[in-house]
């Protein structure tokens, strides 16, 4: 069934997500602060709209995919007076749990509804419609949102509003730490005289197998650090993980170490892919380097 959707934020992820929604038969109005990015979707069947109030006014579902919580808050505040009664806002951005809970309260006070539904899978997953979507909200609202979310990936309700962001932070906690562990394995193999590529091939399929070993392990071997997920984005996520841990009253010592590594890396290659954790590790080990390929930083 076709749904009238307004999609806010046409960036690296937003563009392919809108295309998946259009391919599924939904009607999509596209808005972006830089209007040219929304206008580029006209050929795919979207209706670009430069005015935020007009963009959201006739939408039953609003999807936001913006850079961070403060931007979501700014856009939500500006759009709120123009939202249709009983509109459902699905925020697919990565924000803090407390921010998502505040968005929920703000919309509920005005008779509107909210789901936080951050994603994992990157640009490739967005283009293929295979994103992992972690949703927080009521069961009733999720049931309504699920057919829309299904166009972009596999959605799972993990709890009340804010829980989607917690699940995303758990995902990023594992991603950030595992990238660093894979980098250490690569450098250890190289320094100890083994072939890092052969080491990676040997352990694949065993208990160490992971998407990180598959994708980022290959990136490290190729020294391809052109950004998919940026160091700065991973660092933002690391800080959000620690904020959630503090709010929950727990200590995450390994996450604190990983955060420190990305803070150091952000001072030299902030726009590189987060697999550039290997570069930071090599800086701690002068004279050691995985492979002979030149660095690709974009």
Identify the CATH number of the domain in which residue 265 sits. 1.10.1040.10
pLDDT given for residue 1 in this prediction: 60
- Longest Cα–Cα distance in the chain: 66
Catalytic, out of 168, 211, 230, 236 = 168
Residues 227 and 107 reside in one and the same domain: no
Do residues 297 and 225 lie in contact, with contact meaning Cβ atoms separated by under 8 Å?
yes
Residues 114 and 256 reside in one and the same domain: no
Residues 152 and 170 reside in one and the same domain: no
Residues 153 and 180 reside in one and the same domain: no
Torsion of CA 149, 151, 156, 161, to 10 degrees: -10
Q: Is residue 189, in this structure, part of any structural domain at all?
A: yes
Q: Which structural domain, as residue segments, surrounds residue 42?
A: 4-160
In the numeric block, the tokens 């100890």 are attached to 192
User: Which residue among 112, 143, 160 closes a domain?
Assistant: 160
- The set of residues, in sequence order, having a beta carbon less than 8 Å from that of 226 and lying 6+ positions away, is 272, 273, 296, 297, 298
Residues 250 and 139 reside in one and the same domain: no
**What does pTM read for this prediction?**
0.84
168: annotated active-site residue = yes
DSSP H or E run through 265 = helix 253-266
pLDDT given for residue 96 in this prediction: 87
Q: Is residue 295, in this structure, part of any structural domain at all?
A: no
Residues 140 and 16 reside in one and the same domain: yes
pLDDT given for residue 228 in this prediction: 80
pLDDT given for residue 122 in this prediction: 84
For every one of its 298 residues, what pLDDT tens digit does the chain have, with 9 covering 90 and above? 668 999 999 998 999 999 999 999 999 999 999 999 999 999 999 999 999 999 999 999 999 999 889 999 999 999 999 999 999 999 999 888 999 999 999 999 999 999 999 998 888 899 999 999 999 999 999 999 999 999 999 999 999 999 999 999 999 999 999 999 999 999 999 999 999 999 999 999 999 999 999 999 999 999 999 988 889 989 988 998 999 999 999 999 999 999 999 999 999 999 999 999 999 999 999 999 999 999 999 7
């Amino acid at each position: 069934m076709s749904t009238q959707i307004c999609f806010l934020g046409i960036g690296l992820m937003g563009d392919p997500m809108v295309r998946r929604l259009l391919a599924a038969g939904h009607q999509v109005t596209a808005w972006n602060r830089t209007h040219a990015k929304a206008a580029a979707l006209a050929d795919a069947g979207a209706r670009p709209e430069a005015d935020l109030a007009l963009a959201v006014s006739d939408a039953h579902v609003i999807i936001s995919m913006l850079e961070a919580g403060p931007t979501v808050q700014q856009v939500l505040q500006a759009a709120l007076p123009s939202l249709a009664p009983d509109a459902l806002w699905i925020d697919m951005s990565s924000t803090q749990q407390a921010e998502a809970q505040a968005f929920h309260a703000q919309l509920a006070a005005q008779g509107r509804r909210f789901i936080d539904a951050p994603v994992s899978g990157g640009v490739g997953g967005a283009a293929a419609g295979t994103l992992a979507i972690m949703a927080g909200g009521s069961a009733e609202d999720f049931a309504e949102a699920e057919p829309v979310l299904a166009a972009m990936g596999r959605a799972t309700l993990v709890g009340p509003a804010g829980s989607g962001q917690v699940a995303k932070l758990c995902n990023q906690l594992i991603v950030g730490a595992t990238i660093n562990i894979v980098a250490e394995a690569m450098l250890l193999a190289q320094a100890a005289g083994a072939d890092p590529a052969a080491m990676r091939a040997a352990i694949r399929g065993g208990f160490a197998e992971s998407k990180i070993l598959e994708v980022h392990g290959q990136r490290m071997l190729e020294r391809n650090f052109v950004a998919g997920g940026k160091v700065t984005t991973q660092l933002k996520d690391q800080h959000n993980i620690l904020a959630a841990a503090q709010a929950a009253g727990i200590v995450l010592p390994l996450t604190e170490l990983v955060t420190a590594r990305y803070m150091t890396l952000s001072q030299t290659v902030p726009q590189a892919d987060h697999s550039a954790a290997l570069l930071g590790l090599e800086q701690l080990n002068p004279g050691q380097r995985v492979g002979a390929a030149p660095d690709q930083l974009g």
